[in-house]
Structure 1
C-alpha cells in the first residue's frame, strides 16, 4: 500500500537518495527544503511515479515546522513516514573548533545546530506523531543521526552533540509511541559522499577519511537510503529504538 513520506532536507545528498528510494518503492514523497529550491526541484523531477510534492520551510522556526506538516497532510491526505534528515553544521565551512573560534562564532554554530538538528526534528516528530495517533495510522519516524555522536566531532562539536541528542530523542519516542503503533529508529552514518562533504573529501584530508574504513572508501547516499527504507518498513517494527551504525566498520562500539 502506498504511503505518504515526508523527507526533510531533500534538496540533495542523503535526503535526495532517501526520497528516491521511497518513490521507487511506490510511496508518495513530500520533498522538503529550506533554501535550495533548485535542488529540491531537481529531486522532485527525478522521482519515479507521480503525486509527489514540494514543501518549503525553515525548520529552525516552530511555526514553519507546523506549516510543513500541515501542508503535507492537507495535500496528500495524511502522513505515514517522517524522515528527519535536515541538518546543519557538518561541513568544513561550518567548522567551529573550540581552540580557534571566537565566542560569537561558537554561539552562532551551537544555536543553529540546536534549532535545526534537534528542535526542528523534535517539533516535526511531535506534529507528525500526533497526526498519526489521531488518524489511527501505523507510523514510522526515522532519524538521520551520525557516527560523530559516538566518535566525536572535534571540528564540528555542535553537530556531533545534536546528533547524539537526536539518537536519544528517537529512543525516548520509540518507547512513548509504540503503544500507538508508531516505530521510531535512527541511522548513524559515517562520512557520506555528498555535495556538502565534497570539499573535505577532495582535500588533503580525503585519503585519510577514506582510510578510516577497511573498505577504503566512504558511503554512497544510496546505501544510507536503503537502510532508511528498511527501518520504515513493516518488517522492521522490532527495530524500533535501534540506532543502526552505517560507517563501513570505521568506528565500532
Structure 2
C-alpha cells in the first residue's frame, strides 16, 4: 500500500461520493486531510469521524467565490503548515437541454457550472500552487469527466467545464514541472455515487451499465485508488496525463 505519512491533502467536495472515498483512502495511508464542503455540515462531520488517524480538519467554501477559496486554502495551510497534494473533485451537474430550456435559465446554468466546475478548480489550484512553488514540490489532481470527450447532450455546460479543466491541467502541468509539481487529471465515466443513484436506479440504469463489458459503472473507491497513485512519487512522470476510468465504455485515441 502507498504511504502518505507526513503528507497533507486538500480534497474539495469531500462530503460524498468520489471526494469522500479519496479522503478516506488518503487518511488510511497516513495523510492528514483537509475536508472541503460547501453546505453539508453534518455529512462532512460524519466523514471526518470515519477517517483513520488524527489531525484532519474541515474547511467550508463556496467554490464560486474567489475570496472563499483563498480563505479555505489559508485555513488548511494554517492548520497543516503546507499542502502537499490538492485534489480538485467538487463539481455540479445540472441538465439544461437546449431545446427545452428558457434562455435566462440557460444562462444561469452555464454561469454557475463554469464558476464551480472550472473556475473553482482553477482558482483553488492557483492558490495552492503559490505555496507549492517555493517548496518546489507538490501534486495537483483534477477530477474531470468522460463527458469532456464524448459530450453531454442535455448538460453541455458540464461537458464544456470538464473539457476546460482538462486543458487547464495539461497547460499548468507543463508550466509547473520545473518547480517539481506534477499535475494530472482523471476522467471517469458513470460512477456509483449519491449524485448518480437516481439515474442508475431508473430505467436508464440498465443501458448505462451495459455501456461497459463489465456491465457496471465505476465505484468511488476505484477512482480514489488512481488518485493516490497519481499523487505518489512513483507517478511524477505521468504529469499532464488524463486517465480514463470508464470500463471501456468510451475509448479515445
In structure 2, what is the equivalent of residue 33 of structure 1?
Answer: 37
Shift of 1:137: 4.5
Task: For 2:42 and 2:108, locate their aligned partners in 1 and report how far apart those are by CA, in whole Å.
Answer: 26
Q: Which secondary structure state, in structure 2, belongs to the residue aligned with residue 183 of structure 1?
A: strand
In structure 2, what is the equivalent of residue 75 of structure 1?
Answer: 79
In structure 2, what is the equivalent of residue 132 of structure 1?
Answer: 132
In structure 2, what is the equivalent of residue 111 of structure 1?
Answer: 111
| Equivalent residue runs for 1:12-27 within 5 Å | 12-27=16-31
Task: For 1:12 and 1:69, locate their aligned partners in 2 and report how far apart those are by CA, in whole Å.
Answer: 20
In structure 2, what is the equivalent of residue 51 of structure 1?
Answer: 55
Shift of 1:39: 1.2
Shift of 1:113: 0.7
Q: TM-score when scaled to structure 2?
A: 0.97
Quick check: 1:185 aligned with 2:202? no
Number of residue-to-residue matches in the alignment:
248
Task: For 2:198 and 2:133, locate their aligned partners in 1 and report how far apart those are by CA, in whole Å.
Answer: 43
State the superposition RMSD in angstroms.
Answer: 0.7
Q: Which secondary structure state, in structure 2, belongs to the residue aligned with residue 26 of structure 1?
A: coil
Unaligned runs of 5+ in 2: none
| Aligned 8 A contact 1:133 1:180 in 2 | yes
Moved >4 Å (runs of 4+): none
Task: For 2:65 and 2:12, locate their aligned partners in 1 and report how far apart those are by CA, in whole Å.
Answer: 14
| Aligned 8 A contact 1:85 1:143 in 2 | yes
| Equivalent residue runs for 1:1-253 within 5 Å | 1-89=5-93, 94-134=94-134, 136-253=135-252
Q: Which secondary structure state, in structure 1, belongs to the residue aligned with residue 30 of structure 2?
A: coil
Task: For 2:25 and 2:98, locate their aligned partners in 1 and report how far apart those are by CA, in whole Å.
Answer: 38
Q: TM-score when scaled to structure 1?
A: 0.97
35-44 or 243-252, which deviates more: 35-44
Unaligned runs of 5+ in 1: none
